[in-house]
Amino acid sequence: MHYGSFAMTGAPNPNTGSLMIVDGSKSTTIVDGLNMPVGLKQINNQSWYVSSMGDGTILKVEFN
């Protein structure tokens, strides 16, 4: 999980977070445009719940 990209002021830019799969030699972005993701719950090999501190939502993400 990538929280977000930061500006020179130190505050994260909104909607710059993402969820990625990283295996040591490459990374695959599953979803981007997340608003400060902070919590992650894996349901199975292809589904996760991601909570967002930026907008207070919970998003179900599926990857095939």
Q: Give the pLDDT confidence of 7-32 residue by residue, as tens digits.
A: 777 677 889 999 999 998 999 999 99
Q: For residue 17, with 0-12 CB atoms within 10 Å meaning exposed, 13-18 middle and 19 or more buried, which class applies?
A: buried
For residue 33, is it within any domain? Answer: yes
Whether 6 is covered by a domain: the verdict is no
User: Quick check: is 27 in a domain?
Assistant: yes
Left (φ > 0), alpha (ψ -120 to 50) or beta: where does 31 sit?
Answer: beta
Q: Which domain holds residue 34?
A: 17-62
Predicted local distance difference test score (pLDDT) of residue 10: 67
1 in any annotated domain: no
> Is position 2 within any domain?
no
The count of domains in the chain is 1
pLDDT by residue (tens digit) across 25-51?
999 999 999 999 999 999 999 999 999
Does 7 reside within a domain? no
| Residue 12 and residue 36 in contact, taking contact as beta carbons nearer than 8 Å | yes
Residue 8: predicted pLDDT: 77
What's the pTM? 0.82
11 contact partners, CB below 8 Å, separation of at least 6: none
